[in-house]
Amino acid sequence: MNYVDPYTAELNADGTSRGRPGNAGYRARIATQNGSDRGTVAPASLAPRLCKTHHFAPVFDDVRFGGVWILVRDPRDALYSWYRWRLSFAEEDWDRLPAGEEKETFFLEADHTGRTPIEDWARFYDQWEHSPEERQVARALTRFEDLKSDPVPTVADALARFGLHPPRRHIEEAVAGSTFDAMRAHEDRHAKGAGRIMRQGRVGGWAKWMTGELAAHFAKEPIVSTAGRYGYDLTSEERADRSRW
């Protein structure tokens, strides 16, 4: 399939792509069909094109596309992963956190947007949740946790929602090449001194670092309701006991 990661690749007018200037370290560590340094890459077919984004939905108000595939992860794990990314690896000056910045500072203080990361997570998913209905396009929802526990059926089901039915062996090959262990091995071969991208990839890793102060902020609106719609209970007493808040 024609997959483009705008963080690593740029599209040409004819539908081919090329590596973006900069972000070479990221591009080398995250191997994708169209995100390499091999020069211009021509996909086997221009459509359908899958394009990753971390932008908020209104950025695409004037853009037409055929569907929305939402990938969601427990916000406690997702936001901590983002914190570690910005602290240890980010290549852009604006993306880096000051050396040694504490997680409490990252989670609880507003950034240049005027919002905290916790508020931004809820805003991002609230917007994209309603975008497919507003656009009248197909929608698929994939949870990170399901990708970890049952990857092949999870990917096949999502693709089917867009009318895509690749041979199962192709999905199995893609899944095998995208496991945490496979991607970490790839990163080890191409790492050049910067911090890891493939750090742990765990489900429920938040229980190891969560504090009572941060737990209280994750248990507030609007993130509680948003996360709850995706199956994440941020107020669970059972989880609280296990993580020793």
CA distance 222 to 200: 28
Q: What is the pTM of this model?
A: 0.83
Q: Is the pLDDT of residue 239 over 50?
A: no
CA distance 218 to 227: 10
**Confidence band for 188, pLDDT divided at 50, 70 and 90:** confident
Q: Is the pLDDT of residue 242 over 50?
A: no
How confident is the model over 12-23, as pLDDT tens digits? Answer: 888 788 777 766
Query: Domain residue spans in the chain?
Result: 1-52, 53-243
Q: Which CATH number fits domain 53-243: 3.40.50.300, 3.20.20.70, 3.40.50.970, 1.10.357.10?
A: 3.40.50.300
Over residues 71-79, the mean pLDDT reads 94
Q: Is the pLDDT of residue 241 over 90?
A: no
CA distance 165 to 35: 24
User: What pLDDT sits at residue 204?
Assistant: 85
| More confident of the two residues 121 and 98 | 121
